[in-house]
Amino acid sequence: MPFSCSKCGECCRRIDKIPQLAAFDTGNGICIHLKNNLCDIYDHRPEICNVEAMYEKYFAGRFTREEFYAMNEAVCEKL
- Which pLDDT tens digit goes with each residue over 12-55? 999 999 999 999 999 999 999 999 999 999 999 999 999 999 99
The per-residue pLDDT for 42 is 94
The per-residue pLDDT for 4 is 82
**Residue 48: what are its φ and ψ, rounded to 5°?**
-65, -20
The residue count of the chain comes to 79
Spell out the alpha helix ranges (H) of the chain.
Answer: 51-54, 65-78
Question: pTM here?
Answer: 0.85
The per-residue pLDDT for 10 is 92
Separation between Cα atoms, residue 25 and residue 31, nearest integer Å = 5
**Residue 19: what are its φ and ψ, rounded to 5°?**
-55, -35
Q: At a CB cut-off of 8 Å and minimum separation 6, what does 36 contact?
A: none
